[in-house]
A and B are shown apart, each in its own frame.
Chain A
């Protein structure tokens, strides 16, 4: 149910962006979703198809790019992908959370604006 609300927001933002441009057709919307954002891709897609009906986005494709969560090792000063106990695979030191993995934003919108070029 989380995704119902966020999909509404997503559609509103896209509609605002497209107000000036008034494209013939919206081809796709690309969304970046971090592993720790709590967003389930399948739910997002489901609501996107349902909630875009009757909007300028109807029939467009929702592209989701997933981002892995990265932790930062205090000992080796390197990023590593989240492990079960947050331990660095190289030196077994405890890692800490970073901004990587929390992403949730619209990256771009692709439209057909009727321009042959």
Chain B
């Protein structure tokens, strides 16, 4: 006998993500899932956001890492609540672990919560964490072929931050090819910021965008 099933295997994660969404709505949290390769600049992005907005908004950070606590220690020096999740080798965070982390973190109402996901361009894109927004950090140093190689990561993200643009020319990064790939994936919804966390180039535009976003989110009832 054959039983037809047709069930999404990630559905349990979806339930858990839904419960995070409910909690977030109740508590007026704004969750940002930050994804990207190791070394692309995920921690630099979060550090930049904290420095720009910590005086205006409550900020907390959930640091996902395979094993170390280096990033969490660095972030906690900036004076915001940080909780580290070590996945013990797993290549992505799941909604269950975020649920648990939020309980432990106890962020309070009206908080921006950054979630630094595990560094890779495949696995994290498949797992809904109940976030309000997804940001992918993609460095020029990784090459201009990333959208073509990992389209789902870019498709699933609301904002693309191209980092390390200070080295783009030196390594022959083809901006046109990169953007063409992104446009094929995102169409007119492309929200691209070209920055260097080292030289601060492009950071004003990036901060401007998030400033407007946070203001409108937290001023709305």
A-to-B contact residues, CB < 8 Å: 1-2, 4-6, 9-10, 12-14, 17-18, 21, 23, 31, 36-38, 71, 84-86, 94-97, 102, 104-113, 115
In the complex, the 3 A-B pairs of residues with the closest C-beta atoms, listed nearest first: A38-B122, A106-B5, A2-B123
B-to-A contact residues, CB < 8 Å: 1-13, 89-92, 94, 122-123, 125-126, 148, 151-152, 155, 177, 180-181, 183-185, 187
CB-based contact A109/B2 at 8 Å: yes
CB-based contact A96/B184 at 8 Å: yes
CB-based contact A2/B10 at 8 Å: no
CB-based contact A107/B6 at 8 Å: yes
Chain B residue, CB-CB nearest to A6: B9
Q: List 13 A-B contacts (CB under 8 A).
A: A1-B90, A2-B91, A12-B12, A13-B5, A21-B3, A36-B152, A38-B123, A38-B126, A102-B152, A104-B9, A104-B10, A108-B2, A110-B2
CB-based contact A111/B4 at 8 Å: no
Distance between Cα atoms of A10 and B12 in the complex (Å): 10
Distance between Cα atoms of A38 and B91 in the complex (Å): 11
CB-based contact B11/A108 at 8 Å: no
CB-based contact B1/A38 at 8 Å: no
Q: How far is the CB of A1 from chain B (nearest CB, A)?
A: 5
Residues in A neighbouring B183, C-beta threshold 8 A: 94
Residues in A neighbouring B1, C-beta threshold 8 A: 23, 110-113, 115
CB-based contact B10/A6 at 8 Å: yes
Chain B residue, CB-CB nearest to A18: B3
CB-based contact A38/B125 at 8 Å: yes
* Known contacts A5-B94, A115-B1; is-contact A105 B184 (Cβ 8 Å): no
Distance between Cα atoms of A105 and B9 in the complex (Å): 5
CB-based contact B185/A97 at 8 Å: yes
Apart from the given pairs A23-B1, A85-B180, A111-B3, 5 other A-B contacts in the complex at a CB distance below 8 Å: A5-B90, A6-B9, A13-B7, A38-B152, A94-B183
